[in-house]
Each structure stands twice: as structure tokens, then as C-alpha cells.
Amino acid sequence: MILANTYHLALRPGSEVVQRLGGLHRFMSWDGPILTDSGGFQVFSLAEIRSVTDEGVVFRSHVDGATIELTPKRAIEIQNQLGADVIMTFDECPPLPSSREVVARAVERSIAWASVCRESHQREDQALFGIVQGGLDLELRLRCAAALLNLDFPGYAIGGLSVGETHDEMIRVLEPTAAALPTERPRYLMGVGKPRDILAAVRAGVDMFDCVLPTRNGRNAEVFTAQGRLKLRNQRHAFDDAPLETGCNCLACRRFCRGYLRHLFMAREMLGPTLATIHNLRFYQRFLARVRDRIIDGTLDRIENEFPIVAVDDPDETEKEGVNDA
């Protein structure tokens, strides 16, 4: 599934343009499933250029400074025009840390906005998911989940995690929150993430994930392997003729060695980020395919043997850059 963003597409090229050109599937020439975020995450990530009220959010465009207003109704209207298969309610993601008062206010807004989104949704061929907020406050999480269940969405997302909390803090609220959501409908953990976090969430009953790590890290010369992460600018890879990961069938691993990929990054050739991204996406596909296989055969507890990366406390530290690295 490909994720596209309501806020960014509303700015460029505009949802009306996408609609007139046949919707996102035809616009991108992608016949697989597509999910659009509502723009709610930008309420968190673009805090410096927005103001929030109970009615919605006003942004100052990061592109040209123009004023952009996103309300729950407008967010759904844009997503109806974009035509993704799965669309999201408009929500408020509170920053971490936040006072309980701030988190509670975000929960109440998210619940109220979800109701407006439900009423505004016009297309039966799009599944509208509700988003559970509540920060690290389990009581507020469960209150939000219960309110969204009353709105009877076809799927439910858990938002507001992976915003700076520790792995243990995330799991503490994730497990009971996921358990409060219906097992017969998709449960989607937004913004996660690291293989270790994904595996813990799968064990908690989560079905879907999205994260920028495969692409962002690939652009920055970092690749995922079953054993851990590799930093391709490290001097140790300069003469290495091995693939990024033995046994991986991605284009980068089939055709090129670590030394060549390091050269591409050192020379600032755009092919380097492209190949690293291709590998990272394939790594995640392989990882989750094996997770599914092991769920089916009842051996999920053995996944760490195939993917030791999931046992690393801090995967960011798998391979540190040395003093001779660029």
C-alpha cells in the first residue's frame, strides 16, 4: 500500500487537479491500494506554522506562505477527491511531552472531528478509519477508543506514538489500546517504525504500519539488514565487494556491491539513495512476510533467529560511524 498525504497534495498539485486527472490511482499509475493521511500529523509536525481551534487548523503554507485552512469536513472532501482506498479522520496529535490537559483537549477534538468526518464522508468505495489519540495516558487512550467504536468505523488507527517516547513507553499504552479495538477490523499503528517496534506491535495485535524510515534512511546512506543497520559512508565499506545483504533479492543486492554503493553516496550520485531505498523497502517486505509466515505456523517466537535486528535495544546504534568516516 502506498501512502499519500492530504495536506501536501492539497498544496501541490491540488486535490481538484488529481480528481480531474482520474484520482490518485490513475494520477500515479498505481493499481495497488492507496491510503491518504488526513493532514492531522501536520498539526504536530508543522506546529510553528499553524494555529488550532475547535473548528480546525489554519496553516501558513510552507511552499508560498498562503493561508490554508483544514477542517474535518474539508479534510474528508479533499480525500474524497483524491480517491484513495483507505482514508483517515482528521485528528490532533499532541506533542511529547504535554500536560494531561493538553492531551485531553486533543482527544476531545479528535473525537468531535471524527464524528464530523463520519458525517461528511461521501464515497462508499473508500474505507474511513478513525484515529485513537491520547499520548501516553492510557485512560485517555481508552476513552478515545471507546468513543470511536461508537462511530462504527471499518478500521481503526492508533496515532500519536513514535513521537519521542521510548520503546517501553510505547508498548505500555499500545498493548491495551490495541486490545480495546475490534479484532475483526484492521488495526493500524501510525508512524512506526523500527523493526523491533513493529514486531512488538504485531504481537499486540496490530495489522498495518507506515513509516518514513525505509526511504528517509535510504536517502541518508543507511540500510537495514537482518543483522542490523549499515552506514554506507563508513570507510570500512570502501573495498567491500559483498552485497548489502546476502540472500536479499532486491535490485541493489542482485547487481551492486557495498563498495560501489558507498562510492555513489560519496560522489553525491542520486542513484545511491535510489538503490538504498529500494533495498530498505524490500527488507521491510521480506521481514513482514516472514512475520506472517511464522504467525501462520505458530513460530513467531523464533523470528529473532532470522532477524536479530529486532532484539537490538537501540537499532540506531547498530553500526556507528568511525573517526575516519566522511
CA distance 30 to 264: 29
Asked if 210 is an active-site residue, the reply is: yes
Query: Helices 100-120 & 72-82, crossing angle to 10 degrees?
Result: 50
Of 37, 91, 137, 197, the catalytic one is: 37
Asked if 91 is an active-site residue, the reply is: no
Burial class (CB in 10 A: 0-12, 13-18, 19+), 51: exposed
Q: How many other CB atoms are there within 10 angstroms of residue 229's CB atom? A: 21
**3-state SS class at 87:** strand
CA distance 310 to 304: 6
Q: Peptide bond preceding 176: is omega within 30 degrees of 0, i.e. cis?
A: no
Of 85, 210, 301, 325, the catalytic one is: 210
Q: Peptide bond preceding 315: is omega within 30 degrees of 0, i.e. cis?
A: no
Question: Would you mind telling me the total number of residues written for the chain in this entry?
Answer: 326
Q: Which residue has the cell 481503526?
A: 156
Helix (H) / strand (E) containing 118 = helix 100-120
CA distance 157 to 174: 11
Read off the C-alpha cell for 111: 473525537
> Catalytic site residues?
37, 210
